[in-house]
Amino acid sequence: MECRQTHSVDLAGHIAECEINYARLLQILPGLREGRTEWRFDIGSNASIKIHMRLKESAPYTSMIDVVQVSGDMALPALQLKLCHDADVAEITAWDKHRHWQPSYDYPNPKMYQPDEKFALNRFLGEWLDFCLNHGLVPPDICDSVLVSGNS
């Protein structure tokens, strides 16, 4: 007998998370609105993770950002982020070959997505951006534009 559970969507919580992620990204991506198209920084005290963010698409109200992370010889899951400048929100639109998530899923499901997969991904994005802001080592050319806590 298969047990299916339904999940209700916390739309207000999801939008709030996407708004906070937008604000976090603007701190990490100085110069985005002035035409800068690439950002690189290291994570961790020994700079074991390298982050490369690149503006993939730009329109008056949206930007698409590709995020590549490398730790040693291992590439970590690549992310694609969408920033909506008119609504001040940002969210993950893809990671590796996964994209186009439903607001909620029955569980279990063929891809084994969590019932709140879309919200969980954006919550992960928020935690990852906080980690970058708190432990990132920013190149000197943008230090005056980016406040990285713990590094003076």
Beta-carbon-side half-sphere exposure of residue 44 (alpha carbons within 13 Å): 10
- Cβ partners under 8 Å of residue 146, min gap 6: 27, 28, 30, 138
For the cut 60, the answer to whether the pLDDT of residue 92 exceeds it is yes
Task: Decide if 70 contacts 41 (C-beta within 8 A).
Answer: no
What residue spans define the domains of the chain?
11-142
For the cut 60, the answer to whether the pLDDT of residue 67 exceeds it is yes
Q: Among 112, 150, 118, 123, which residue's Cα sits nearest to residue 134?
A: 150
Q: Among 62, 64, 66, which residue's Cα sits nearest to residue 85?
A: 62
Residue scoring higher pLDDT (78 or 113): 78
Percent of the chain clearing pLDDT 90 (strictly above): 43
Both tokens assigned to 115: 């019932």
Rounded distance between C-alpha atoms, residue 130 and residue 115, angstroms:
24
Least confidently predicted of 78-82, 107-111, 123-127 = 107-111
Average pLDDT, integer, range 68-85: 88
Average pLDDT, integer, range 52-73: 92
Q: Please state the pTM of the whole predicted model.
A: 0.81
For the cut 90, the answer to whether the pLDDT of residue 57 exceeds it is yes
Tell me the per-residue pLDDT of 38-54, one tens digit each, with 9 for 90 and over. 998 888 767 778 889 99
- Cβ partners under 8 Å of residue 18, min gap 6: 89, 90, 91, 122
Please name the helix (run of DSSP H) or strand (run of DSSP E) that holds residue 79, with its range, or none: strand 79-84
Residue scoring higher pLDDT (89 or 138): 89
Strand partners, 124: none
